[in-house]
Each structure stands twice: as structure tokens, then as C-alpha cells.
């Protein structure tokens, strides 16, 4: 069991972090204090053309891995700004790892001919994540992830979430069931501009993992969320699938239905992407710079409710969060298992091209 909340304003109007904090706080029942986190899109407008690396170092500011990571990043990128991420230790969370953020741009000459800029950044993230005692929390442009061990409202206060604003927010309240609670393992999970919050426990993990390994994805966290993010990244970024098709691959229709409708594309997608099917209970909110996707497993084994109020869309594990955010919500519905809800930004976002 976990709790998730997502808010998107498709006009790109920004809201501050107090709303999402409240929305996830009232789902306290769904977590156990072992993980909470937030992702916010549009939070670094002054640095929107640079990749914002949030990096978590185990230990304190004297951790020996810090210079190793910084030397590595400096050798591969131009770091325009580097700073400690402000934190506000309190009674409930007196201490955490050491967080830094870097705004950086890849050194173009270092890209190999087949490599896109995104591939290059993903490689950097994978390399750093293989080092001991360090973890890249987020790596997208104009986007930040703040997460840790604690209830989400306490994590919000620890990072001073109310000081950040964005046009899209997601939050997660964790009740860990398969991996121990640690700061890096909290959700959301992100790679480049793609972020996943997830409630569930996928049973296809081993199959998905091996498939991803064929394409150089290194799953260091061993969490379901990480696997789902990578599957989506591989499908949409590397293979060029639409969001809808990527969702279809993860939660395809039954063969019986494919036979009945003789849908060639659906048969084809299910045939070639068999190992990317996601089984087991899940409700996910997947966000990227141009919108959000909400998806349930085919059997609808986890709750997800969606709603709309003007140009603001909501997704949540429980209706109460939506009612809190928008008492006069226009429409509210529970998407069927395997049928994605896809929300697209109306206007070009401030995110550059990542």
C-alpha cells in the first residue's frame, strides 16, 4: 500500500508546494513513515536550459565520494552552478544525507555520433549511481525531486517544499514492502524529465529487469518504480512510441480481444514487447515535461481516481485528496484497469528539449 497524488495545470500556471503537501498528508493512512517524496516541474525557470542534478551523498559534507563525483561531472559537463540543497532539520527528521544540486550542460564534443544528449545524460546518471555512497535523485531540466525517509508532510517540511513552485506536482507516501526504506529508495523515481510515483508490487520484475539490461539500463535500486521508469524511457525516448502505445505495452489488451478486433498494431506491439509487460498490482502516475499519464494494472488491483477542474487535472489514490484540493471539482472518475489517462500540456512548457 502506498499513496500517490498528482496535480497538473495544463496551461502551465504554477502553484506552490503547500497544496500538494496537504493533499498527501491526508493520505497518511497509506504510508508508514518509511518514505515520502515530491517532484515538481517548472521549479527552476532561471536555469531551465540546464540539467538540474539533485545528488544525494550518504554521510555529510565531508563524504569522500563528493570530490570523486564532482571531478567526474566536471570532466564530462560544464557545471554552471553548484550548491547545497537547503534543508530544515526538525524534531521528526533531525538528520538526513547531504544533498547538493548542480546545473550543468553536457560538453557537446564528447557525444559519440550515435549518442543523443539524453543518452549522454543517462550514461552520466548510471555511472554515478554505480559509485558507492552516492545517488542521483533527479536529473531533468527545470525539475526537482525531494524525497527521504519519513512521512511525506515531514519530508516536505525538511526540504521547505512550500518555497518551490511548479505547474506539475506529484507526491508519494510510502509503505515499503519489498525493499528497505532508505532515502534514495523513496519515491518519486526519475530519469531525465520522466518521473514515476507508484503504488503496487509488480510480479513481472525479473522479466522486465532482464529485458532492460539488454539495453544498458542498470537498475541499482531494485524497486518496481525504477523498472517502470526505465521501461517507459526505453519505449518512448529510445523507440519513439507514443505515450498511449507505451501504456499499451505495459498493460496490453487480452489476446482474445486482439483476435476479435484483428488489431494488427496491438498484436505487433504485444509480440515484440512481451518482456516489457507489467504484471501484478500497480497504480502509477508518470510525468514528463509535456504532461502526465495515469495507469492501472489490467486487473485494477490498486485504486486510482482522476479528476478535472478547469485546466487542472488530478490523480490520486484516494478521492479525499482531490476533494481537499478542489472541493468543486467538475468531473471525477475511476479509470478502468489498463486504460491510461493521458494529460497533455496545452502550451509549450518552459522545459527546453530534454
Partner 1 sequence: MAHMTSNWKIMPSFHPEFDLSRCDYENGCRICVGECSFGEISLKPVKGRNGTILYRPWANMSACNACQRCVKMCPHRAIHIVNQPMHTSHGYWTPHHVSNIWRQAGSKGGVLLVGTGATGPQKRYFDHMMFDACQVTNPSIDPLREPMEIRRYLGGKSDHYGGEVGPQLQLEVPIMFGAMSFGAVNLRVQEAEAIATKEVGTYWNTGEGGFHQRLRQYGQNTIVQVASGRFGVSEDYLKSAAAVEIKIGQGAKPGIGGHLPGEKVSEAISQTRMIPEGTDALSPAPHHDIYSIEDLRQLIFAIKEATSYKVPVSVKIAAVNNVAPIASGIARAGADIIAIDGFRGGTGATPLQIRQNTGIPIELAISAADRRLTEEGIRNKVSLVASGGIQSSSDVLKAICLGADAVYVATSVLIALGCGMCQRCFTGRCPYGITTNKPGLAERIDVGEAAEALKNLLHAWGEEIKELMGSMGISAIEAIRGNRDRLRGVGMNSEELSILGIKHAGD
Q: Cβ closer to partner 1: 180 or 327? A: 180
- What are the cell numbers at 338? 489498463
Quick count: other Cβ atoms within 10 Å of Cβ 179? 14
Q: Which of 177, 261, 334, 346 binds partner 1 (CB under 8 A)?
A: 177
Q: Cβ closer to partner 1: 72 or 175? A: 175
Rounded least distance, CB 285 to partner 1, Å: 19
Q: Which of these ranges, 44-52, 70-78, 164-172, 277-285, lies near partner 1 under the rule CB under 8 A?
A: 277-285
Strands (E), 174-290: 189-191, 194-200, 282-288
Rounded least distance, CB 233 to partner 1, Å: 13
Q: Which of these ranges, 110-118, 263-271, 288-296, 312-320, lies near partner 1 under the rule CB under 8 A?
A: 263-271
CA separation for the pair 195, 170 (Å, rounded): 9
Note whether 278 binds partner 1 by CB under 8 A. Answer: yes
Contact status, residue 314 vs residue 132, Cβ threshold 8 Å = no
Q: Which of 277, 325, 341, 345 binds partner 1 (CB under 8 A)?
A: 277
Phi-psi category of residue 300: left, alpha or beta, with phi > 0 → left and psi -120 to 50 → alpha: left
Q: Which of 71, 84, 110, 255 binds partner 1 (CB under 8 A)?
A: 255
Q: Which of these ranges, 4-12, 180-188, 225-233, 262-270, lies near partner 1 under the rule CB under 8 A?
A: 262-270
Give, to the nearest 10 degrees, the angle between helix 18-25 and helix 152-159. Answer: 160
Query: Active site includes 2?
Result: yes
What mask, x for binding partner 1 by CB under 8 A, covers residues 92 to 131? ----------------------------------------
Angle, CA 295 vertex, CA 228 and CA 122 arms, to 5° = 30
Q: Which alpha helices (H) appear in the chain, and where do they start and end?
A: 18-25, 65-76, 117-130, 152-159, 205-213, 224-233, 243-250, 255-261, 264-272, 319-325
CA separation for the pair 250, 233 (Å, rounded): 12
Q: What is the footprint of partner 1 within residues 178-217 (CB under 8 A)?
A: 178, 200-201, 203-207, 209-211, 213-215
Cα torsion at 176, 326, 9, 346 (round to 10°)?
130
Rounded least distance, CB 266 to partner 1, Å: 13
What mask, x for binding partner 1 by CB under 8 A, covers residues 213 to 252? xxx-------------------x--xxxx---x------x
Closest residue by Cα to residue 183 from 306, 25, 282, 55: 55
Instruction: Enumerate binding residues for partner 1 (CB under 8 A).
Output: 1, 177-178, 200-201, 203-207, 209-211, 213-215, 235, 238-241, 245, 252, 254-256, 268-272, 274-275, 277-281, 298-299, 301
Amino acid at each position: 500500500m502506498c499513496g500517490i497524488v498528482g496535480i497538473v495545470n495544463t496551461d502551465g500556471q504554477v502553484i506552490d508546494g503547500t497544496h500538494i503537501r496537504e493533499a498527501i498528508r491526508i493520505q497518511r493512512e497509506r504510508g508508514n513513515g518509511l518514505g515520502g517524496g515530491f517532484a515538481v516541474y517548472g521549479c527552476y525557470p532561471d536555469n531551465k536550459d540546464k540539467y538540474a542534478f539533485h545528488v544525494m551523498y550518504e554521510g555529510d559534507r565531508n563524504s569522500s565520494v563528493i570530490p570523486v563525483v564532482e571531478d567526474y561531472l566536471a570532466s564530462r559537463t560544464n557545471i554552471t552552478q553548484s550548491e547545497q540543497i537547503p534543508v530544515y532539520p526538525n524534531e521528526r527528521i533531525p538528520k538526513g544525507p547531504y544533498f547538493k544540486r548542480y546545473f550543468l550542460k553536457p560538453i557537446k564534443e564528447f557525444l559519440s555520433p550515435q549518442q543523443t544528449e539524453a543518452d549522454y545524460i543517462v550514461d552520466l546518471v548510471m555511472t554515478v549511481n554505480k559509485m558507492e555512497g552516492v545517488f542521483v535523485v533527479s536529473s531533468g531540466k527545470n525539475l526537482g525531486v525531494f524525497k527521504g525517509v519519513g512521512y511525506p508532510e515531514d519530508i516536505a517540511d525538511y526540504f521547505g517544499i512550500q518555497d518551490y513552485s511548479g505547474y506539475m506536482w506529484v507526491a508519494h507516501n510510502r509503505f515499503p514492502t519489498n525493499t528497505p526504506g532508505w532515502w534514495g529508495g523513496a519515491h518519486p523515481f526519475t530519469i531525465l524529465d520522466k518521473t514515476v510515483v507508484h503504488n503496487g508490487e509488480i510480479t513481472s520484475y525479473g522479466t522486465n529487469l532482464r529485458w532492460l539490461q539488454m539495453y544498458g539500463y542498470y537498475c541499482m535500486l531494485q524497486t518496481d518504480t525504477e523498472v517502470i521508469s526505465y521501461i517507459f524511457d526505453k519505449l518512448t525516448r529510445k523507440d519513439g512510441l507514443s505515450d498511449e502505445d507505451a501504456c499499451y505495452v505495459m498493460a496490453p489488451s487480452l489476446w482474445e480481444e486482439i483476435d476479435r478486433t484483428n488489431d494488427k498494431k496491438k498484436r505487433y506491439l504485444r509480440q515484440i514487447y512481451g518482456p516489457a509487460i507489467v504484471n501484478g498490482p500497480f497504480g502509477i502516475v508518470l510525468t514528463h515535461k509535456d504532461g502526465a499519464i495515469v495507469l492501472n494494472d489490467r486487473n485494477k488491483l490498486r485504486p486510482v481516481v482522476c479528476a478535472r477542474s478547469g485546466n487542472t487535472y488530478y490523480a490520486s489514490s484516494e478521492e479525499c485528496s482531490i476533494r481537499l484540493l478542489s472541493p468543486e471539482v467538475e468531473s471525477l472518475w475511476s479509470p478502468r484497469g489498463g486504460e491510461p489517462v493521458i494529460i497533455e500540456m496545452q502550451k509549450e512548457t518552459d522545459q527546453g528539449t530534454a
